[in-house]
Amino acid sequence: MSEIILSLNKATKLYAGVPAIDGVDFELRRGEIHALVGENGAGKSTLTKVMAGVVTLTSGTMQVNGADVMPKTPLEARHLGIAMVFQENSLVPTMTVAQNLFLGQERFYNRLRGIYISAQQFLQSLNFDVTPTATVGLLGAAKKQMVEIARAVLHDAKVIIFDEPTATLTPEEKKYFFDLVRDLKRRGVSIVFISHALEEALILADRITILRDGKHVVTDEAAKFDRARIVQAMVGRDLSNTLYGARKTTMRTAGARVLTVQNLKMAPMVKNNSLSVFAGQITGVFGLVGAGRTETFKVVAGVLKRDFFHGGEVLLHGKPVRYRVPAPAVRAGIAYVTEDRKVEGFFETMSVARNIYLGLLAKLPGGRFFLSRREADNVGSKWVERLKVRTTGNSMKVVELSGGNQQKVVIAKSLVQEPDLIIFDEPTRGVDVGAIVEIHELIQRLADEGKAVVVISSYLPEIMALSDGILVSRQGKVVEEFSAFEATEEKIMYAAVH
Amino acid sequence: MGIKNLGQQGIVFAVFTALFPIFAIALPGFLTTANMLTLLQNVAVLGILGLAMAIVVIGRGIDISLIAALAVPPGLVLQMVQDGHSLSISLAAAFALSIAFGLVNGWLIAYAEVPSLFTTLASGLFLAGLGQAALFKLDVVQWSPGLDGFEKLGQGNLLGIPMPVVMFALACIAVAFLLRQTRLGAYIYAIGDNPNGARVTGIPTRPIIVLQYVMAALIGCAAGLIMASSVNSMPTRIFNSTLIYDVILVVVLGGIGLSGGRGGVVNVIIGTLLIGTMLNGMTIMDVSYSGQNLVKGVVLLIAVITDSFLNPRNEETAQQGDI
């Protein structure tokens, strides 16, 4: 069983002279589940992309079954028996499951009934509960992933690589995914998966490899790791006590009621939702994917594009408000920090300072017509310093920053607008461990300053570590409220899934 | 600065600086003051249209109706003066028509969320058709005595520089100022870079988009007035010409990405200079009209291919979805 199926020796990949991975040695045994763990930018993705033929090594060698190989395209890697399941999945949304499975392998006469039948048989043999005639775009994240996995197996993959496979899955789906991966292992397939959720790596993996700054830190049996040891290896310093710190021992008292949502309806995601948010407190909103958390707060901030508002009331400082676009909400002091910073967060062609300055401009009431370079620089430097954004200068572009620093810029762009109500939607998604701590400190500080803060998160330890009050959302409405003292992970999860 | 950092505008400028001396040496009569002034005069209108297009393209749109905006409102001025109205009333009517046209374009694109390509394609056809069916008596609207003095806009000169060139320079300064120094300009770049991001930041994206198309229509109208006054008529059939491709060529060749948020007035000037030099050189060499189109097509392809070699798409930019 311990035969080496794939190995990398002194693997180095330079991007514009900067190493993304630097002399990494990696070995994958036949039929093992191998977790890759590391901060953002540690080189996990690059390492897996090398194996999958998406990028080619600058130096170093790769062996599959003992033979030297160097796949230059994903197709070459596939012929070697290596398949990769990407984070943004690579299925064609308008085609059916069966069409996707056989994509690229169609015969000249592509009989639909034929591929439906073979797809059905194949999916049944894998024990996958997916209808072959279903359109992929209409499937949930978990089912899409099943199709991706099925395709990899169909291509006779001996090595399947997953990039953050559980990021978009609900807990039940995760469980199912774990069973699936174990089943693949029994079939003799080797699995490599990247994960930010350390518990998953500990539960699922046989061995864990930890990378830091493009270098290999340690590879060992999963049984020999625990949370603290992994975190320490990832960041090179002992962080486990400050990150998602020990249980809260103090709780802020509630100030004035800033936001009240009463019986908000919005088809199909929000059903009769009611909640309150208070100044000087962090209100944590927990719920599984599809619980209508994000949608509720997007209605509050005017971010939702189409008007699906079907009734109910939003009160800001006791006055009823209804924002159809974000601009008036911003002027009224509501800031929404997006969960998807690439799509609705930062401006990628612009400098850090210009990004933050645009936030200021959008808030300035009417008057300002001319731009002031000095003001932009001042505002930029002030916030870069305040949020400890690591840049090489104000003129550095946001795309060149790491995920954590990009997130800080997006936050700064909102904070420069001096909001009273700040809604953080998944504030630490795709953010490295060091930056998570800094962002959490910042969120705490905002509440201490008397702002009303909302943190929407799917990650329980984050909710537990930050919140003074916790709202649990399920199927479109808040179903349970806890104070920080009475909440336990079990109680919250129980409310969220039932 | 290596060739990697040169970018498309750098390459195009390098081609221009290489082409210019070659023409100057090889073509007799190219490097004369008279020819230089002709060259500039010929491309001035194209350059002004390029500025209008640039404003829209930087905001991640495109305005195919620009030629209709160039032909119809100025044609209306000539027609109304011919019919005995005063010049000022005619001009007011033309500007009102331009503004209304820009508003309709902008409203359809920003509020009804129809893609800009289709909106302006249809609205351009509509405006050109309206002009020919309802406003003009002849395809070519002729100059009339009531316009005397107005032809200086196209034929006069300031300190020996032809008026169209002066107008192009003024338009460049005005648009550069708008894009670089004002809040509106910053908003246009922000919308072009990331429309959803701009919206969430609290930028009033929809009014800004409407404003872009109104400005484009007004600049188009100004370009049309300059054109009409330099040839003493408005050939409204220009709508059927390939002029719109030349405008897009200037903008894209100059390096204003169609995905928005990139480039500026400098790019329009560089694009205009290269196209102007090429067209002028080819005219001196007596290349036929279709031959010129062939050359233009090849040049655009080379520019686009070179750019994608020097600035390869990575994961970040690939997700942008160019037009």
User: Is B196's CB within 8 Å of A344's CB?
Assistant: yes
Query: Residues with Cβ < 8 Å from B136, sequence gap 6 or more?
Result: B75, B79, B236
Question: What is the tally of structural domains in chain A?
Answer: 3
- For the stretch B38-54, pLDDT in tens is 788 788 999 999 999 99
- By Cβ distance, the residue of A330, A347, A359 closest to B194 is A347
Domain ranges of chain B: 3-310
User: Is B199's CB within 8 Å of A338's CB?
Assistant: no
Same domain flag for A20 and A60 = yes
pLDDT at B68: 93
Choose the final residue of a domain: A366, A396, A417: A417
Question: What is the value of pTM for the model shown?
Answer: 0.76
pLDDT at B3: 45
Same domain flag for A13 and A157 = yes
Same domain flag for A402 and A468 = no
Extended strands (E) in B80-224 = 140-142, 157-158, 161-162
Q: How confident is the model at residue B67 (pLDDT cuts 50, 70, 90)?
A: very high
Same domain flag for A204 and A268 = no
d(CA A52, CA A28): 14
pLDDT at A204: 87
Give the count of beta carbons closer than 10 Å to the beta carbon of residue A244: 20
Using a CB–CB cutoff of 8 Å, tell me whether A49 touches chain B: no
Nearest to A140 by CA among A344, A313, A289: A289
pLDDT at A13: 84
Query: Residues with Cβ < 8 Å from A115, sequence gap 6 or more?
Result: A98, A99, A101, A102, A106, A132
Q: How confident is the model at residue B319 (pLDDT cuts 50, 70, 90)?
A: very low
Per-window interface: A 381-420 vs B, CB < 8 A:
399, 413-414, 417
Structure tokens at B68: 């209709």
Question: Domain range spanning residue A85?
Answer: 4-235
User: Is B182's CB within 8 Å of A349's CB?
Assistant: no
CB A166, CB A197: distance < 8 Å: yes
Same domain flag for A101 and A120 = yes
Measured between CA atoms, how close is B99 to chain A, in angstroms?
A: 22
Inform me whether the pLDDT recorded for B70 exceeds 70. Answer: yes
Cis omega (within 30 of 0) on the bond before B28? no
pLDDT at A235: 64
Residue A343 lies in a domain: no
Same domain flag for A366 and A454 = no
Question: Kind of pairing, strands A18-29 and A4-15?
Answer: antiparallel
Nearest to A238 by CA among A428, A434, A96: A434
Closest CA in chain B for residue A411: B201
Q: How confident is the model at residue B98 (pLDDT cuts 50, 70, 90)?
A: very high
User: Is A326's CB within 8 Å of B202's CB?
Assistant: yes
pLDDT at A365: 64
**From 1.10.20, 1.10.287, 1.10.3470, 1.10.10, which CATH number describes the B3-310 domain?**
1.10.3470
- Which CATH number belongs to the domain containing residue A300 in this structure? 3.40.50.300
Inform me whether the pLDDT recorded for B28 exceeds 90. Answer: no
pLDDT at B2: 43
d(CA A161, CA B141): 69
User: Is A349's CB within 8 Å of B186's CB?
Assistant: no
Same domain flag for A358 and A463 = no
User: Is B186's CB within 8 Å of A361's CB?
Assistant: yes
Same domain flag for A141 and A273 = no
Q: What is the DSSP string of A125-171?
A: HTT----TTSBGGGS-HHHHHHHHHHHHHHTT-SEEEEESTTTT--H
- For the stretch B150-203, pLDDT in tens is 777 877 788 878 889 899 999 999 999 999 989 899 999 999 988 889 999 989
Which portions of chain A are predicted below pLDDT 50?
1, 238-241
